[in-house]
Amino acid sequence: MVKFLSINRNIRSIRRYLNIVRVLSTHGFDQALEMLGLADVVVRSRRLFRRPMPDIARLTAAERMRLALEELGPTFVKLGQILSTRADVIPQAFVHEFEKLQDNVPSFSFAEVLIQISTGLGAPVEHFFAEIDPVPLAAASIAQVHRARLLTGEDVVIKVRRPGIVEVVEADISALMALAGLAERHVPGSELYDPVGIVREFARTIRREMDFSREGHTIEKFRDNFGKTPWMYFPRVYWEQSSRAILTMEYIAGVKISERGKLLEQGLDPALLAHRGADCFLEMVLDHGFFHGDLHPGNALILPDNVICLLDYGIVGRLDDDLKKFLTDILAAIVNRDMDEVVSLLLFAGDISDNLDIRALKRDLFNFIDGYYEIPLQDIEVGRMLMEFIEIITLYNIRISPDLMMLAKSLVLVEGTGRMLDPAFDMVEHLRPFIVKALRQKYSPLRISRDVNQILSSYLNLARNIPRDLKEIINRINRNKFKIDLEHRGLDKFTADFDRSINRLSTSMILAAMIIGSSIIMQTDKGPKVMGFPVLAFMGYTVAGVVGLWLVYAIIRSGRM
C-alpha cells in the first residue's frame, strides 16, 4: 500500500512538473526553459500545438512571471510572496511585481469545513463548538478562518486548513526541486544564488506555515517574551480544539492600526502607538532574536488603552547571536557613517564571491553613505536605508541571510506605519538605545570572557582532531581509497548538444549508406519489382527520404542551421 502511494505521488509530481513547464512556456519563458535543457521536451511541442498568450509582447518579464505564478496556484503565489522579500536573489522589477501577488482564492464550502474540523480534531464538531459561522471571515491559499463559539461560551476564531493543500504543496515542492536542480546543472553562475537552497528554505517555510500547532506555540512564545509588557496582547490558543490542521484562538475585537480616523474617534493615541510599535519590533529583533515576519497593517489590532495585538503568526524570522551581532554592528556603522567598518563587516560575515571588486564596492558604499550626510537623523528612514544598502551589496553577489532580508522588509512596513500614525516619527531615535545596549553587551567583561573561551575551545578541538584526521587520510592513501570528487558545472548542456550532433551525424551517415545501397540494388535489376523498380531499392529510397525530411525539419526547428 505504501509503495502504491509512493508511485501515485511520483506520478502526481511528474504531472505537476510538466504543467509548470507548460505554463512557463505559455507565458513566454522559452529561452529560460532552453537554458534548463527542456526545449526538446516541451517547447517544441508547444510551438506545434499551442500558442502563447496574445498580449505577451506588451508585458514585461516580471509581469509575465507574476501571471504565471498566479496561474500555477497557491504554492507558487506563496513562493512569489517570499521572493518579494529577497532583493538579494531576484531583480528589483520582479520584487515590485511579486509584491502585488495576493491569495485570490475562493473559499471552500462549509460542509468541507466541518469535515476538516472533525477529521483534524478526531471527533464530531458538536463535541467542541456550540456554533460556527458558515460565512468565513477570510479565505487564503492555505486556510480560511471562521468565527465560532465554544461549548463554554468563549468567542473564538477557527483557522481551518484547506482540503488537499498538503498534497498539492508537496507535489509542487518536488517539481520545484527538480527545476532548481536543472538550474544548478545548466545555468552558468547559478551557484551564486543557490536555487536548490532557496527551494529547500521555501519548503521549510511553507511546511511550517501549514502546521498550525507550530503557529500556536509561536503565539505562546511571543506572549512569554512580552510577559512584562502590559501594552502588548497576544490571543489565547485553545489547545483542546486545535491540531496540526486546526487552530482555535481567542476572538479579538479591535481597530486596525491603519484606520487612524477610528483610532482618534475611540480616544486612542496614534503617536503613542507608533512609538510602542517601533519599540515592540526592535525588542523582538535585537533582544529576543525572534520576530513577526508579516507585519503589514492588517495584522495589527488596537485594543483599549492603546494596547497592541498582533495577528497571523504563520511567518516568523529568527536571528541567532552572530546575526544579531552583525546587524547591530552594521546598523551602528551605517548610522555613524563609518564606511571602512561597513566594508570590514561585509568581508568578514558575508558570503563573498571570488571575483569581488572590493574597490568598486567601497566606492558605491561611499556614495551610499554620502547620500545621507546632509539628511538630519530624524528624517532618515532606517528601513529604506537598509533596503538600499542590501541592493548595493546584492550587485556584488554578496549573499546574506534570508531572515535578514525578511527583517529589512518588516522594518520598512513598521516604519511606514509609524510615520502614518505620527508624521514626526523617528526610527533612529528608537533604534539608538537598542544599539547602545547591544554594544555595551558586546564589550562587557562577561561577553569578552565568553568569546575568548569559545575561541580557545574551538582551537583546542581543532588541535585534538588534527592527528586523527591526518591518520585517516594516510590510511586511505595506503589502501588506495583516497578520492577527490570533482564537479563540472555547465557541461551538461554542452554534453547534450554534443550527443545531439553526433546522433545527427550518425543518422546522416546511415542515410547516405541507404541511398548508396539502394542505388546499387537499382543497378542490379534483380528481385521482386514494383512499377518496374526493385522492391528493396524502392523501400531504401522511401525510408531514406522520410528520415532525411524529418532530419532537415528538426534542424530547421532548432534554429541551428
What's the rounded Cα separation, in Å, for the pair 267 and 313? 28
DSSP 379: G
Facing residues of 309 across strands? 233, 301
Q: Which three cell numbers stand for residue 508?
A: 546522416
Give dist(CA 234, CA 312) in Å, integer: 11
Crossing angle of the two packed helices 491-524 and 535-558, in degrees rounded to 10 = 160
Annotated active-site residue in 88, 211, 294, 403: 294
Would you tell me how many other CB atoms lie within 10 Å of the CB of residue 331?
21
Give the closest residue to 40 by CA, choosing from 504, 488, 489: 504
CA-to-CA distance for 199 and 187, rounded, in angstroms?
A: 16
Within 10 Å of residue 469's Cβ, how many Cβ atoms?
A: 10
CA distance readout (Å), 173 to 40, 101, 204, 297: 23, 19, 10, 30
C-alpha triplet 144, 12, 56: angle, nearest 5°? 75
- The 3-class secondary structure across 40-61, one letter per residue, is HHHHHHHHHHCCCCCCHHHCCH
* DSSP type of residue 144: E
Bridge partners, residue 318, by sequence: 290
CB of 146 closer than 8 Å to CB of 133: yes
CA-closest candidate to residue 77, choices 193, 146, 165: 165
422 labelled catalytic: no
How far apart CA 66 and CA 81 sit, in angstroms, is 10
Neighbours of 159 (CB within 10 A): 23
User: Which amino acid would we find at residue 19?
Assistant: N
Whether the Cβ atoms of residue 230 and residue 240 lie closer than 8 Å to each other = no
Q: For residue 182, report the phi and psi dihedrals to the nearest 5 degrees.
A: -60, -40
- Residue 175 near residue 15 (C-beta atoms within 8 A): no
Query: Which amino acid would we find at residue 218?
Result: T
Name the grid cell of 457.
575551545
CB 145 within 8 A of CB 159: yes
d(CA 412, CA 382): 8
Just list the catalytic residues: 294
